[in-house]
């Protein structure tokens, strides 16, 4: 399959016609297109999800490492104090002395014997973090896929792609219109089924205009000529991402 750079070379007649009148291309974003794009985007979103999960688990692990020792000590101390305070629920001089002595005794015991306890607790926490969480990942994948499907199905339908000297316009069946001036295009991406272009702002938001490589509503040769014209006007400085 010739790449986008090769398709930028146009016959002189087509280049001449382009300067005289606009060209119109017709295509439809179908459910099949939606399914293809879901597959492409789902893989990227799951990679992002896994990275975020890894960062979160790393943060939790570091937090547990810092707080484990003081938390266990405080729990032991609080448990001893409550055991002395109940069941009478009154502070007496004897209870205060007992609490003080128990606190000192706990501190001494903790100083000499806490290392072994903490090593065991940390080993259990590490084993817990290392356990696979396939069910949770599967649930998140289904949620992400459902969100992608809602967003992508909303753009299904018939489109008109209008090309002229200034740029391109994309109009859907409901009359909603978008487009870019040629000089604002900074990203050109090619996949097996689409060409996608974006300006700097859209590229930062990971958004783009998607143009199918084939049309089911107009002559295939005319559509390919129009695509060649479209690609020829994309600035050479636009970053090209080839088909995977």
pLDDT digits (tens, 9 = 90+) for 191-220: 889 999 999 999 998 889 999 999 999 999
Contacts of 65 (CB under 8 A, 6+ apart): 122
Contact 31, 156 (CB under 8 A): yes
- pLDDT tens digits, residue range 53-79? 888 888 877 888 888 889 888 998 899
pTM for this structure?
0.60
> How far are the Cα atoms of 18, 165, 234 from residue 21, in angstroms, in the given order?
6, 9, 18
Say if residue 12's pLDDT is above 70: no
Spatial distance between the Cα atoms of 189 and 207, rounded to a whole number of angstroms:
11
List 197's β-bridge partners, or say none.
188, 209
122, two tokens: 């940390």
78, two tokens: 């609080």
Contact 161, 222 (CB under 8 A): no
Spatial distance between the Cα atoms of 152 and 144, rounded to a whole number of angstroms:
12
Spatial distance between the Cα atoms of 239 and 236, rounded to a whole number of angstroms:
8
């Amino acid at each position: 399959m010739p790449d986008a750079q090769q398709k930028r070379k146009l016959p002189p007649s087509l280049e001449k016609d382009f300067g005289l009148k606009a060209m119109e291309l017709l295509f439809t974003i179908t459910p099949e297109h939606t399914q293809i794009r879901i597959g492409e985007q789902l893989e990227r979103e799951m990679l992002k999800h896994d990275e975020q999960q890894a960062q979160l688990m790393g943060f939790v692990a570091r937090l547990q490492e810092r707080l484990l020792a003081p938390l266990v000590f405080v729990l032991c101390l609080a448990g001893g104090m409550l055991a002395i305070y109940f069941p009478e629920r009154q502070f007496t001089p004897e209870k205060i002395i007992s609490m003080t002595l128990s606190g000192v005794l706990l501190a001494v015991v903790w100083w000499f014997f806490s290392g072994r306890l903490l090593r065991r607790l940390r080993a259990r926490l590490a084993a817990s973090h290392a356990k696979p969480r396939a069910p949770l990942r599967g649930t998140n994948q289904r949620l992400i896929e459902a969100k992608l499907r809602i967003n992508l199905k909303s753009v299904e339908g018939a489109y008109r792609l209008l090309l002229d000297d200034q740029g391109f316009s994309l109009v859907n069946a409901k009359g909603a219109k978008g487009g870019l001036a040629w000089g604002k295009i900074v990203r050109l991406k090619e996949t097996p089924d689409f060409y996608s272009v974006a300006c700097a702002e859209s590229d930062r938001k990971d958004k783009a205009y998607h143009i199918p490589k084939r049309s089911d509503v107009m002559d295939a040769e005319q559509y390919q000529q129009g695509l060649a014209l479209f690609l020829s006007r994309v600035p050479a400085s636009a970053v090209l991402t080839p088909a995977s």
